[in-house]
Amino acid sequence: MELREYTLLGENVYRQRLDNGLEILVDVRPEYGKQFAFFATRYGGMNLRFRSEDGHWVDTPAGVAHFLEHKMFDSEEGNVLQIMAANGAVDNAFTAAAITGYYFECTRGFEENLRTLLSFVSTPYFTQESVDKEQGIIAQEIRMCLDDPDVEVYYQLMESMYQNHPVRVRVAGSEQSIAQITPEVLYRCHEAFYRPENMVLCVAGSVDPEKVVELAQQVLPSSGGYLGQVDLGEQEPVGVSRSYVEKEMLVSVPVFELGIKGTPAPAGKELRQQLVGDLMCDVLFGSSAPLYTKLYEEGLINSNFGGDYESILGCAYLMAGGESRDPRAVRDAVVAEAQRLCREGINPQLWDRLKKAAYGSMVRRLNSLEDTCIELAQNYFRGEDYFYFPQCFQSIEWEDVKAMLEQWCVPERVALAVVCPVGTAGQERWE
């Protein structure tokens, strides 16, 4: 195995690529009394269309990646959650737009739990009866999300910002789309994307890296195969699809999400753009930024207000949201503040404080084995090594953030989604 030593972080990571194409990353921390394993595939809610091994394009229903994640916990031996719980593991999974991940944490029985994880994720087992039952369960989950203003305003924003990119499609799909899912669809998607060369295994804690590799070689296929070629749709325009959208729901105060549509990072540059984007959020609307104080004192936001940089293959954006009696005023203030910062710059002392705070937060997150493994996996899929973030971070200057502000924070790239109280649509302001 290759050992990489990250002296700035005090981390040692063992890496090995198996003959079947699976990348294994093991962050050895002997001082920890627990272990965490994360087994992920580069396949998520946005991967709706792909070319199969026979050369034909396959269109799948929205929500199939999420549905597949649910059904992978079924095995011929029973429910995997119960099997792993009996062996002392806490396990779960998630599906996002571009990734599906399965994981567990334990303080005993690590090797047996890892064997179980690798086995059930790589060995699909679906029946028509179990699929029919799951359709009812997920349909209920979808209906619950439709009643959640935070979920609704997020997808309203995605549909407003993106015209073609499938990030605008709900990861869970709709009741109509999941009704089209069959065992055959699930098997076909598993075959296309749950292949070792399209996956990564990240482990952290008090573990033996050689044993991790040995178990993966024993359980997983010895060779790779054909990977589905994904189609993410037509070229996305620079500007947003719609600048404003609103929807009435049972809320007492308007809930909003403000989006700034960015430019995807070039290959191998996503980590740096992520760090610049995070700093841009801190500068523009972070809790230590002048704008936050101004909006708070004017009663336009409350303590729930916050924002992030987000990106997946083919898209990148900033978003900020919360509750406000006048979301349009918040949007206008954010754009105006971006323009002011470009003209006048930032207070050097504030810049230093924000940068130190951001770096400290990233280092503290490494205390979490879960956060560490997920970051390692996501950055591996982007072709980058997450533990090089200290060197990357040190190279960032105010001019990098200013350049992003100038390019991104312009009216044609800004969208606002609002969930407002019933009977108030069309109002400029809510008191």
Residue 30 lies in a domain: yes
Residue 146 lies in a domain: yes
Residue 393 lies in a domain: yes
Residue 132 lies in a domain: yes
Selected catalytic residue, list 23, 69, 159, 337: 69
The answer to whether residues 97 and 140 belong to one domain is yes
Residue 282 lies in a domain: yes
Q: Which two tokens stand for residue 112?
A: 């047996």
Q: Which of 230, 255, 271 is the last residue of a domain?
A: 230
The stretch 209-217 carries a mean pLDDT of 98
How does pLDDT run across 292-337, given as a tens digit for each residue? 999 999 999 999 999 999 999 999 999 999 999 999 999 999 999 9
| 344 flagged as catalytic | no
The answer to whether residues 202 and 226 belong to one domain is yes
Range in 225-239, 353-367, 397-411 with the lowest mean pLDDT = 225-239
Residues with Cβ within 8 Å of 385's Cβ and at least 6 positions away in sequence, in order, are 4, 379
C-alpha span between 416 and 328 (Å, rounded) = 8
The answer to whether residues 249 and 205 belong to one domain is no
The answer to whether residues 217 and 258 belong to one domain is no
Whether 227 has a pLDDT exceeding 90, the answer reads: no
What pLDDT sits at residue 203? 98
CATH number, domain with residue 307: 3.30.830.10
Q: Which of 230, 262, 290 is the last residue of a domain?
A: 230
How does pLDDT run across 356-392, given as a tens digit for each residue? 999 999 999 999 999 999 999 999 999 999 999 999 9
The answer to whether residues 151 and 259 belong to one domain is no
**Residue 272 lies in domain:** 244-421
Number of domains in the chain: 2
The answer to whether residues 252 and 186 belong to one domain is no
pLDDT band at 397 (very low <50, low <70, confident <90, very high): very high
The answer to whether residues 162 and 217 belong to one domain is yes
Axis crossing angle, helix 64-71 with helix 128-146, rounded to the nearest 10: 120
Spatial contact of 257 and 320, defined as CB atoms under 8 Å apart? yes
How many other C-beta atoms are found inside a 10 Å radius of the C-beta of residue 193?
Answer: 21
As a whole-number percent, the residues of the chain with pLDDT over 90 amount to 93
The answer to whether residues 203 and 262 belong to one domain is no
The answer to whether residues 224 and 368 belong to one domain is no
How does pLDDT run across 65-122, given as a tens digit for each residue? 999 999 999 888 878 989 999 999 999 999 999 999 999 999 999 999 999 999 999 9
What pLDDT sits at residue 379? 97
pLDDT, mean over the chain? 95
The answer to whether residues 338 and 379 belong to one domain is yes
pLDDT band at 430 (very low <50, low <70, confident <90, very high): low
Q: Which of 230, 258, 275 is the last residue of a domain?
A: 230
- What is the pTM (predicted TM-score) of this model? 0.95
pLDDT band at 431 (very low <50, low <70, confident <90, very high): low
Residue 427 lies in a domain: no
The answer to whether residues 316 and 219 belong to one domain is no
C-alpha span between 344 and 367 (Å, rounded) = 38
Residue 431 lies in a domain: no
Residue 296 lies in a domain: yes
The answer to whether residues 217 and 76 belong to one domain is yes
